[in-house]
Structure 1
Amino acid sequence: MPNTTFDCASLHQFSDFFAINTTNVTTAVEACPEKCSLAWGKGNPDLSGIGVFVSYILQLAVCLLLGPCYAIVYRFLDRKRQKHLAEIHITALQTTVFLACPIAVASIIDLKRRPTLFEARFVYYLNIMELLAACVLVSTMVLRREGDEAFPIETRETITLVLGLTIQLGLSIGVIHWVDRRSLSAKEVRAFVTACERSGVVVPIPPRDWANKYNKSLKGFLGVLLLISIGAAVGIYLLIAKSKSKSRPVWLCLVSTGLATGVAYSFAKMHLARVELARLSKNDYADNEWGFGQIVALFAWVPLLVEASIPLLIAGSGPLTPVWTRAKEAVKSKVQKPNDEVEPEQ
């Protein structure tokens, strides 16, 4: 029978369960089983809202295009296009690194206040995704060193990237370790989940899965993804072998494909977490809202999009060149004609 002496009204969020003595977590759950829903929360628009999630989709697309696809097409382009693609690649790596660093810092701040299980799960796979995304772009960066003439990276860019990658590596691994070993594997969190299950309320599992029965759909997705990756890798190998190119791009392509698969896997886990949250929170789902941080996250990719669209802008201006030339000549002739008609005085 529920303990009616416990003040259930004092529980407003997930962290409130742990504001009391940890030995009373089970008692609090048994007294207020309806409060187990606080564990999953309602979402966090600044973490997983529409705008930032579109930014994560762009991150995944960049990894696929400038990872395996970059390794395939790079050697088939002329030098001018290779140079432009290499510049796009560096811009993408810089954007990835300097987006991942504040994400990791924000994750640490969020974890310190004991977030909901959804936020911790999302943060966990988000940091894995950002770390692997940087690895994808670094693995294909060596292509610019091949050929008769390499495209060197400026010293300031090298220093910036090395510093950024070092900071990202340390912060991201720290966040992953925190969630995996401390934040959600803590004894009191396990006690909370167990108490909720005994009360008939199933709490969605945290990132460190304690039961395999919840992962059937994810395992199916991962299996299909691995099969597609293997098929793509074999096709890439045959394509490059047929072109009689060097073997290095083959291995770069295979490595980047494997890393990109990890990025896609992490993104899938984030997406499934949002789907599960929307199902559980129903009308209280907050991740469909737009916020200040979401707009900022979207505009972080603007420099890369501008850099990539330069050839398209140049190509699009080609058909307009004759029109512009004729217009200039017409204006010039109209200006010169009256001057020609005026005869100098004798």
Structure 2
Amino acid sequence: MDQLLTYYKAHGPVALSDVPAVLRNLTWKDFDPSSNCEWTGKVFGQLYRWGNNGVGMLGMSTYLMAEFARATAPVSLANVTGVQIADWDAYVYQTTNITLYYLGYAIMPAECKQECCRNLKWEGNPDLAGIGVYAAYIIQATLTAFFFLVCAYIDVRAYCRWLWVVWRWEREHKTQPKRSEIFQILKDKYPPNPRTASLRARFDRCLNAFWISSFYFALCTFIAAITITVAENTEANTALYSSFGAQFSGAVIGSLWPWYRNKSQRYHLVTFCLWLMVLSMAVVFVTFKVALYVPGDDDRPSYIFEANCLSNVELETFSDILTLVVWIMCLILAFTVLVLGILTVWRAYSRRGPRRHLFLHMRWFVSLFSFGVLWYSFVSFVQVRSTMASFVDEDYYTENEWGFGQILAVVAWLPMFVEFFRVWACTLTNTSYLGKNLYDANPMLCLLQGMRWRQHLCPGFGNSFSFERPIQAARADCPQRCKIRRLYV
């Protein structure tokens, strides 16, 4: 069938006598789009797929408009041809200036929203929510949960042992025990196990590798999110995905930060990096809230999809989530300032006394809060992604396709898994531990480190290892093939 633009140019003005009698008293306002969602969706997609500039209307075929009119008319149009319906449309435009194009938003009833949105042929946002990025988030969430639960178990177990010794001593002696006495009891009751120490050392090295990889990944995510949100006229879905990605990446770092250890690591350096990442999160969320209310360009298909399928309806569903995102960001900033301030004052003016327990409490607050934010961000990301995917035609949807960027997002984590394999494939002689003066060190930091040792063990030790045994004597017990290397943390 001819397009309407071609038809109007060929026929010119239309007289009332050219309009069928059944249509003379009708306009497009009298039609009911909700009576047939299939044809309503097709017409809506044609009108707005190319933007609100009239191209969709003029490019529509007379067949499509005729079928839509027959399906939604208040009277039967079985005996009316498509040419007659086109004449009627031209006549209505001449007399009332009302066309199907000007009723575009009106022909998207709630009952037909699914069909209308699918016919917009929106491609999705594969750069921010593609299957590769989604898989990378799943990898991070899974590994973070694993490391967090293991570290939490080790710390809680060590702290419970400490509390049990204190409680038992107070019950028997009616006095507060000294730290040296607590250390001696713990040393006698829970002697170090070389095999457990070996597993813990390798576990720590894997955690360090994952934390460093997540740190660089989060830094890149922040830079990309800020750039795409600030430098461009960002659509709502792009800003939404950017904010959730930045929030998720930062939460991964915060969840495992208290257990990250490196031989040259200093807490103030890592805390400074963490603080920079929190500031980056603030910039992302502020710009996201601003971008959400910036009017978009009507000629962009992505904006048409948002305006008709997300902003007016679906983003209202997520209004509580968006508000909660902002409040979480404010809480993170306030809490981080408080923690950094207290930690700085404590480390500067106090090196002993019961205030050492503050560090234990603060690290748990940071870790638990970040762990909650991590899963909240991940679940919200999945919810938004699945909701948007339900309004997209699968033939045009690209978020579930494996492209170059999607494969790269997953392969980028391959070096981390190679490091995991290298750590666990090493022999026991290549494993290092914390020092032998375990119970002479800072008590709370020893507990926070999960009761680790700074000794090099070898298979010849067996059960003969003790804290008092000097490393020179221990070396004599080792087989000739066992070489004890230099100490390092």
Q: TM-score range with shorter-chain normalisation?
A: 0.5 to 0.7
Question: Which of 283, 286, 289 is the aligned partner of 1:177?
Answer: 286
Alignment of 1:275-294 (within 5 A): 275-283=386-394, 284-294=396-406
Q: What is the alpha-carbon root mean square deviation over aligned residues?
A: 4.5
- Inter-partner Cα distance in structure 1 for 2:215 and 2:269: 10
Residue of structure 1 in register with 2:43 after alignment: none
Q: 1:299 aligns with which of 404, 411, 414?
A: 411
For 1:201 and 1:9, how far apart are their aligned partners in 2?
A: 23
What amino acid sits opposite 1:128 in the alignment? Q
Alignment counterpart, residue 123 of structure 1, candidates 242, 249, 273? 242
Work out whether residues 214 and 252 of structure 2, in 8 Å CA contact, stay in contact via their aligned partners in 1.
Answer: yes
Q: Displacement, 1:97?
A: 1.3
Which structure is higher in RCO with an 8 Å CA cutoff and minimum separation 6?
1
- Indicate conservation of the 8 Å contact 2:215/2:253, yes or no: yes
Q: Conserved in 2, the CA contact under 8 Å of 1:41 and 1:117?
A: no
Tell me the TM-score normalised to structure 1 length.
Answer: 0.58
Q: Letter of the aligned partner of 2:393 in structure 1?
A: K
Provide the C-alpha distance between the structure 2 equivalents of 1:167 and 1:104, rounded to a whole number of angstroms.
10
Distance 2:316 2:239 in 1: 7
1:51 offset after TM fit, Å? 1.3
AA aligned opposite 1:108: I
Task: Assess if the C-alpha contact under 8 Å between 2:122 and 2:393 holds in 1.
Answer: no
Q: Once the two structures are superposed, what CA deviation does each residue of 1:203-233 show, in whole Å capped at 9, x if it has no partner?
A: 4207971699xx9xxxxxxxxxxxxxxxxxx
* CA shift digits 1:71-122 (9 cap, x unpaired): 2136788333332222222222211111111112211232232233222211
Q: Tell me if the contact between 1:277 and 1:285 (Cα under 8 Å) persists in the aligned partners.
A: no
* 2:257 alignment counterpart: 138
Query: 1:116 and 1:173 mapped to 2: Cα distance?
Result: 19
**Equivalent residue for 1:105?**
223
Q: Would you say how many aligned residue pairs link Structure 1 and Structure 2?
A: 250
Q: Distance in 2 between matches of 1:200 and 1:287?
A: 17
CA contact (8 A) 1:97 1:165 kept: no
Is it true that 1:92 corresponds to 2:210 in the alignment? Answer: yes
Q: CA deviation at 1:306?
A: 2.4
Counterpart pick for 2:383 among 272, 275, 285: 272
Q: CA deviation at 1:138?
A: 1.0
1:7 Cα deviation from its structure 2 partner: 1.9
Structure 2 portions without partners, runs of 5+: 1-27, 30-51, 57-100, 109-115, 159-192, 297-302, 325-356, 428-489
Equivalent position amino acid for 1:118 in 2: N
How has the CA–CA distance of structure 1 residues 165 and 8 changed in structure 2, closer, same or farther, with 3 Å as cutoff?
farther
Tell me which of 118, 124, 129 is aligned to 1:43. Answer: 124
% identical equivalent positions: 19
From 127, 140, 144, the counterpart of 1:63: 144
The structure whose residues are more often helix, as a share, is 1
Unaligned 5+ runs, structure 1: 11-28, 145-151, 216-245, 316-346
Query: Quick one: distance in 2 between partners of 1:44 and 1:200?
Result: 14
Report the CA distance between 1:270 and its aligned residue: 0.6
Distance 1:267 1:99 in 2: 16
Of residues 206, 209, 218, the one that matches 2:319 is 209
Distance 1:311 1:177, change over 3 A: same
